[in-house]
Chains A and B, each alone.
Chain A
Amino acid sequence: MNTAPLLSIRDLTVSYGNIKAVQGISFDVYEGEIVTLIGANGAGKSSTLRAISGLAPYGGTITYRGVDLRKTAADKIVALGIAQVPEGRGIFGNLTVQENLKLATWGRKDRPEVERDYERVFGIFPRLKERRNQLGGTLSGGEQQMLAVARALMSRGKVMLLDEPSMGLSPVLVREIFHVLTEINQAGTTVLLVEQNANMALRVASRGYVLETGTLTLSGTGAELLGNPRVKEAYLGG
């Protein structure tokens, strides 16, 4: 955790009509970290990620490597190195697994590297290699989540934003996905993870923040938050 943060959020607000989903939050993500935002449904977690990816209008500032992202279009934000694995996975069901992966390389010019990345991604997720010619819509929930993470890898994200990767998955699959996330992180990708499954998220996270009705109420290392009585009571089932 040295020098300037990779991603810096200052006084972020996100509103939908009269509803203020995010009410002025500030936090930083440093290179190499896994940072998690935990909170209940409707706390503003997804809105925060949507703002960072340029999908939702916002107040405040978001800077990436010192560059203000306000004027950057969503597709250019991806090219800068911020990939998002969206809520509900966002797999294109009418495209094959291979096509889903290929589409994510849209902004890349380094074709030989792309070929190597397919091999890398298929190495991490051998199941996707078996199903590469199958339509995305025919995959199981867990496979779709793997494909969503694989796509983010194919776009060469330096920061990966994940919106509830555990949603709708069995405990075994959740553990598998989180295991892959820590491996990806160790290989050099910074991770910003939004989760309702606070237990799993805090175990893998270097640092965490608790988001409640649009404001950050607690912060600390993953271990600190896991041991915090308030977190235990509200998010870890006592």
Chain B
Amino acid sequence: MTYFLQQLLNAMQLGSIYALIALGYTMVYGILTMINFAHGDLFMVGAFLCFIAATFLKLPFVPTLLLSMAGVALLGVAIERVAYKPLRQAPRVSAVITALGVGLFLENFTLVFSPYPQHVPALIANRTWTIGGVSISSLQIIIILLSIALMIILDLVVRRTMVGMAMRAISWDKSIVPLMGVPLDLIISITFAIGTSLGAAAGTMYSLAFPVIDPYMGILVGWKAFISAVVGGIGNIRGAMIGGFILGGVEIMVAAFMPSTYRDFVAFGLLLILLIFRPYGILGKPRPQKV
């Protein structure tokens, strides 16, 4: 039982990171119906900004996190303006290919500056508590609580603010939104800024939990977060959160109770089966026909 609880805690940690990244995929899909395949690489850039801030600027945790989030948000907005905006009227597949290209660019750009893996210094004093046989580290607590806090804030922004309302309106029909006096490009930029900065927060926390980073670290994590978003129902924000925790949970539990080489095989197999029964994901709904 304590073993299970221990693994559950590990699953929460991994799941919250997947969930944060999945939100970026799902938000961009929600407003532009495109998959931003560069998002995993923006997560990687977030990790590298964390490394730079911690190593060269010697910043403590909170400023490091904020710098990473702000830097990646700016990069995300710039990428949308330069690479995706000109393709808004183009077939969706063109935008997806462009996104893959942007991802490759980010990987290779980072590779130029960092041909070798880098070690991220520990920014959080490592303390461990043991409660009923389950050990909890200070880092785990911070990752889980911070992720949940960010998700609650995002949920409130989307449900309660004018900007969030505009985002939801865009996801329904973006051609009508300018007629409401709402500047479409500004809302799209804000969406990219929020989505990519959550990815950067995940990158920062991930690089503290697994402190060796390299330019390709975003590929597999990005794919898994993307799958989390699909499992939850792509375009659905709460779905992305649920999907992230499910994928994190399945991965950790498989590795805990089966040979760990089975991890990805069993995890992805389960998700494929889930999608057979719920092809739109857990919270996704087939789009109603517009009349």
Which positions in A face B, CB cutoff 8 Å?
53-55, 73-75, 78-79, 83-84, 86, 88, 90, 92-95, 99, 102-104, 106-108, 137, 151, 155, 168
Contacts and interface: CB of A to CB of B under 8 A. Distances in A.
A54 B180 CA distance: 12
Nearest to B184: A75
B117 interface: no
A148 B175 CA distance: 15
B286 interface: no
A90 B290 CA distance: 10
Contacts of A107: 181
B178 A73 contact: yes
B115 interface: no
B179 A106 contact: no
Interface residues of B, number: 20
A157 B162 CA distance: 20
Contacts of B180: 75, 78, 103-104, 106, 151, 155
Q: Interface majority SS on B: helix, strand, loop or mixed? A: helix
B182 interface: yes
B172 A92 contact: yes
A102 B160 CA distance: 12
Contact of A78 (B168, B181, B290): B181
B172 A104 contact: no
A84 to B, nearest CB: 5
A86 B181 CA distance: 13
B93 interface: no
Contacts of A78: 178-181
B176 interface: yes
Contacts of B168: 92, 94-95
A93 B288 contact: yes
B165 interface: yes
B178 A103 contact: no
A17 to B, nearest CB: 12
B288 A106 contact: no
Interface of B: 162, 165-166, 168-169, 171-173, 175-176, 178-184, 288, 290-291
29 contacts: A53-B179, A54-B178, A55-B178, A74-B184, A75-B181, A75-B183, A75-B184, A78-B180, A79-B181, A84-B179, A88-B290, A90-B173, A90-B175, A90-B179, A92-B168, A92-B169, A94-B168, A95-B169, A102-B165, A103-B165, A103-B166, A103-B169, A104-B181, A106-B180, A106-B182, A107-B181, A108-B181, A137-B288, A168-B291
Contacts of B172: 92-95
A95 B176 CA distance: 13
B91 to A, nearest CB: 16
Contact of B178 (A75, A94, A102, A137): A75
A170 B240 CA distance: 42
B159 to A, nearest CB: 10
B178 A106 contact: no
A83 B179 contact: yes
Contacts of A55: 175, 178-179
Nearest to B183: A75
A74 B178 contact: yes
Contacts of B166: 103, 106
Given A92-B169, A95-B168, A75 B182 contact: yes
A191 B273 CA distance: 56
B182 to A, nearest CB: 5
Contacts of B290: 88, 93
A106 B162 contact: yes
